[in-house]
Structure 1
Amino acid sequence: MNKFLALFASVMSTTAIAQETAVKQPEFWSPVVEHQIQRDIPQYLGYTDNAGLLMSTYDPNSVSSGYLGFLQSAEMISNLIFASIVAVAVLFAVFVLINGRAKLTEGFSGKLVQRWSVGDVVLHWCVAIPCIILILSGFVIGAGKVWLAPMMTPAHFHSLVYASVLFHNIFAIPFIIAAVILMVKWSKNQLPESCDGKWFLALGGYINIGGKAKHPDAGFANAGEKAFFWTFTIFGLALVATGLLLLFPGIFGTLSKNGALLALIIHICSAVILGAFSVVHIYMGAVMSEGGMENMLSGKCDENWAKQNHNLWYAKVQGQNK
């Protein structure tokens, strides 16, 4: 009996020590997230069929039901992501077909004005290229199960998701570095001006239906460009912060289950908003505004483009050159 009690006490003490040790252990969320991303997109439920990935301290009852409820709505999340990218692109394409492009009233002059430095052009593409890759890979990760999986075999979809996760994680780093530099460097030209309100009221002069509207006054950046810049800055920083938390949870200390879920929700919502704005930005620069794309290819713009779209800035440049 004494031996039995001693053995029982030994087992109980060992169990108590194990429980005490388990309580002190942090709740590592990253292995679960990684497992879910590779297994079931976009079911970000925080659960796994591999018990080895769950810490003994994990208590399902401690997780916010609101967070899980949002993330469990896989079809809703997929549709939001689809709408922010594909639907916005289609709607804007229809708008351009009906409204027409914003052509230069006096055509191209053939005279070029320096608008961006070589460094600014390079910086722009260091942000733009990773951003496009992140948008496309994010679409596969977040909306692929609903919108892409039915069109391919499970093996092909698995390979596509695996590659998308890999690309998403790799290109996140150069995007973060270049985006933060761009935000700081370009912010001085994106401050509000008195002419911005009138620009919005005139819708930038881009509406051709009912007669060509005159482009309102604008400085180096018009009100629409400023709106995109600050949207990019606010939600871009949200994506950067939450992305780093999800990629490297150990760097920022213990990341709780609720903390990881909240970071994921903010990441998704920010991506939806920024994705829609990015699609419009691409259309405006590459399609809608005649002569606009040249700005980010050579750093120069046609003189008539400058007069029509950024007349206050052009007048200032001309005054400095005299």
Structure 2
Amino acid sequence: MKHRLGALLLLPLMVSAVFAAENPIWGEGRITNIFGYGKEGSTGLGPLFTLLQNQYFVPIFLAIIVGVPAVFLLHYLVIGPKVFPHGGKKIKVFSLFNRVIHQIAAISFIVIIPTGIVMVFGSFFGGGWFVTLCKDLHGLFTIPFALVVIPMFFMWVKEAIPNTDDIKWMMILGGYLSKEKKPIPAGKFNAGQKMWFWIATLGSLVMVITGVMMYLLDFDMSMLVSLTGLSQIDLLRLAAILHNVVGFAVLALFITHVYMSMFAIKGAVHSIIDGHMEEEEVRILHSSYYKKLKEKGEV
């Protein structure tokens, strides 16, 4: 079993190596950035940007797209999902405001992430109208997300502050490597959900800002030039580098979030739709939160 798991974990690296060797998408000198600038004027951040853009960004995205789902498929086949009864007592955990904000962000992500992937692999899709459409949708759906990311940050930041439960949770990987239903030390959000929160808010805010900079590449950035000491083209290169690097984390944790809410815990996704969780699910997966609710007499 260990050998199979090791081989599966190496699969994305093997696929990336084959693509890098045989596919001209990111061959030397063949990448053209979707926003229109490339190797010209390789001064300042130019060499670094060209190196990352031509040799690393696409293979890393490919490794995430292949590797993360592969690991979760293995988990689903070997361990399986946790199932809780859905006919018992329910606990309200999310308000209507929480749910509306989350759903706007979720719908935005469902469009932003696939269209972003198409843009990364633009040459593979042949460029043209399809990639241009994805670029336009990517920018369009960034607007509603940008409107809710700040409210989402403040409504959940208190529950997302790390604590000692998170260390205990990480040591047992949230109990997801076992089929047993033992109480897991976690508050309203567990350590995994907290990681996603910080990446989905602060990380995505970085992506919004850098994305706007790239979309408005001809806009006068003299104020930022003065503050940073970078040329305008280097500001754009830096924005592209940050956008891609943060994008690695956003993509990996988005896939993780979808798997956990849709597959690893049967019915978990309903909590953000109707605002309620099964009492047993809270008691087992969020034991510290459940204890606080009991102390308050809310369960």
- TM range, smaller chain: 0.7 to 0.9
Q: 1:301 is paired with a residue of what secondary structure?
A: strand
Asked if 1:65 corresponds to 2:47, the answer is yes
Asked if 1:134 corresponds to 2:112, the answer is yes
Task: Work out whether residues 176 and 240 of structure 1, in 8 Å CA contact, stay in contact via their aligned partners in 2.
Answer: yes
Classify 1:129/1:251 alpha carbon distance in 2 versus 1 (closer, same or farther; 3 Å). farther
Q: Which residue of 2 aligns with 1:43?
A: 32
Amino acid in structure 2 at the alignment position of 1:182: M
Amino acid in structure 1 at the alignment position of 2:68: V
Q: Which residue of 2 aligns with 1:180?
A: 150
Moved over 6 A (4+): none
Of the structure 1 ranges 274-283 and 238-247, higher mean CA displacement relative to structure 2 is found in 238-247
Find the aligned partners of 1:228 and 1:77 in 2 and give their Cα distance: 21
Of the structure 1 ranges 82-91 and 133-142, higher mean CA displacement relative to structure 2 is found in 82-91
Find the aligned partners of 1:224 and 1:315 in 2 and give their Cα distance: 20
Q: 1:223-248: per-residue Cα shift (whole Å, max 9, x none)? A: 22112212323421221221122223
Task: Work out whether residues 32 and 38 of structure 2, in 8 Å CA contact, stay in contact via their aligned partners in 1.
Answer: no
Q: Which residue of 2 aligns with 1:84?
A: 64
Kindly state the Cα deviation for residue 213 of structure 1 after the two structures are TM-superposed. 6.0
Amino acid in structure 2 at the alignment position of 1:138: G
Kindly state the Cα deviation for residue 205 of structure 1 after the two structures are TM-superposed. 1.0
Task: Work out whether residues 291 and 305 of structure 1, in 8 Å CA contact, stay in contact via their aligned partners in 2.
Answer: no
Match of 2:135 among 165, 183, 191: 165
Amino acid in structure 2 at the alignment position of 1:290: K
Classify 1:194/1:62 alpha carbon distance in 2 versus 1 (closer, same or farther; 3 Å). closer
Q: Which residue of 2 aligns with 1:114?
A: 92
Q: 1:284-317: per-residue Cα shift (whole Å, max 9, x none)? A: 0111012311111101111111111112212322
Classify 1:59/1:225 alpha carbon distance in 2 versus 1 (closer, same or farther; 3 Å). closer
TM-score normalized by the length of structure 1: 0.73
Kindly state the Cα deviation for residue 124 of structure 1 after the two structures are TM-superposed. 0.5
Find the aligned partners of 2:166 and 2:52 in 1 and give their Cα distance: 37
Q: 1:50-104: per-residue Cα shift (whole Å, max 9, x none)? A: xxxxxxxx9555663222222233xx42222222234322331222111111223
What is the correspondence of 1:131-280 to structure 2 with a 5 Å cutoff?
131-146=109-124, 149=125, 154=126, 158-208=128-178, 212=180, 214-249=182-217, 250=219, 252-253=221-222, 256-280=232-256
Task: Work out whether residues 196 and 222 of structure 1, in 8 Å CA contact, stay in contact via their aligned partners in 2.
Answer: yes
Find the aligned partners of 1:197 and 1:188 in 2 and give their Cα distance: 18
Tell me the number of residue pairs that the alignment of Structure 1 and Structure 2 aligns.
260
Q: 1:236-288: per-residue Cα shift (whole Å, max 9, x none)? A: 12212211222235264466111111111110111122101110011001110
Find the aligned partners of 2:211 and 2:237 in 1 and give their Cα distance: 12
Find the aligned partners of 2:172 and 2:42 in 1 and give their Cα distance: 53
TM-score normalized by the length of structure 2: 0.78
Of the structure 1 ranges 129-138 and 308-317, higher mean CA displacement relative to structure 2 is found in 308-317
Task: Work out whether residues 183 and 287 of structure 2, in 8 Å CA contact, stay in contact via their aligned partners in 1.
Answer: no
Match of 1:95 among 63, 68, 75: 75
Asked if 1:304 corresponds to 2:272, the answer is no
C-alpha RMSD of matched pairs (Å): 2.5
Find the aligned partners of 2:254 and 2:265 in 1 and give their Cα distance: 15
Find the aligned partners of 2:45 and 2:164 in 1 and give their Cα distance: 48
Classify 1:261/1:286 alpha carbon distance in 2 versus 1 (closer, same or farther; 3 Å). same
**What percentage of residue pairs aligned between the two structures are identical?**
24
Amino acid in structure 2 at the alignment position of 1:180: I
Task: Work out whether residues 96 and 288 of structure 1, in 8 Å CA contact, stay in contact via their aligned partners in 2.
Answer: yes
Q: 2:75 is paired with a residue of what secondary structure?
A: helix
Amino acid in structure 2 at the alignment position of 1:268: N
Kindly state the Cα deviation for residue 41 of structure 1 after the two structures are TM-superposed. 9.2
Q: 1:294 is paired with a residue of what secondary structure?
A: helix
Larger radius of gyration: 1
Task: Work out whether residues 181 and 284 of structure 2, in 8 Å CA contact, stay in contact via their aligned partners in 1.
Answer: no
Classify 1:214/1:176 alpha carbon distance in 2 versus 1 (closer, same or farther; 3 Å). same
